[in-house]
């Protein structure tokens, strides 16, 4: 009896989560996120740990993040990402970079605006950004469908 009650509660929680996600709409959250975090190996060489998350299945089918790079310009992080359209049609979307310090705290929270970008069929474009602050050691590239 206890186990069936837990399943009902989990089911209700999942349904509520899906309902609130559906109400939020696709333009309020990132459909694709690419994260990068500065790391150092045993020899002291700087590296970039990368991870890509698809939160929107239609964008996952339309956009591919081909490459993500970072470099230090002085002591400020610079990021470059190559995006490719997997579709033969024109694909409009928006992107922005969010920046985080070594502890994972966001720097200049909410200061980055969503920038429009259009990819034509099977086109690859490179986007870039420079951290607003030398404390930035991590970034998150967010991609979403444009506001309608």
Per the structure block, which two tokens stand in for 16?
A: 């509520």
Per the structure block, which two tokens stand in for 51?
A: 């991870």
Q: Going residue by residue through the chain, which has 148 residues, state the pLDDT in tens, using 9 for 90 and above.
A: 444 433 333 333 333 333 333 333 334 466 888 788 877 777 777 777 878 887 887 888 899 989 888 888 899 999 999 999 999 999 999 999 999 999 999 998 766 789 999 999 999 999 999 999 999 999 888 888 987 6
Residues 88-131 have pLDDT tens digits of 999 999 999 999 999 999 998 766 789 999 999 999 999 999 99
Q: Which architecture, in CATH terms, is 31-144?
A: Sandwich (2.60)
CB 40 within 8 A of CB 61: no
pTM above 0.85, yes or no: no
Separation of first and last alpha carbons in the chain: 47
């Amino acid at each position: 009896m206890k186990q069936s009650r837990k399943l009902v509660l989990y089911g209700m929680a999942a349904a509520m989560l899906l309902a609130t996600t559906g109400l939020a709409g696709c333009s309020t959250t990132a459909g694709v996120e690419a994260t990068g975090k500065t790391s150092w190996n045993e020899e002291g060489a700087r590296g970039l740990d990368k991870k890509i998350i698809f939160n929107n299945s239609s964008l996952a089918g339309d956009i591919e993040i081909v490459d993500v790079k970072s470099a230090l310009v002085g002591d400020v992080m610079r990021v470059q990402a190559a995006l490719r359209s997997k579709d033969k049609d024109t694909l409009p979307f928006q992107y922005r970079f969010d920046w985080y310090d070594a502890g994972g705290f966001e720097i200049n929270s909410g200061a980055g605006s969503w920038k429009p970008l259009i990819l034509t069929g099977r086109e690859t474009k490179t986007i870039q950004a420079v951290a607003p602050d030398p404390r930035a050691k991590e970034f998150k590239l967010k991609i979403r469908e444009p506001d309608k």
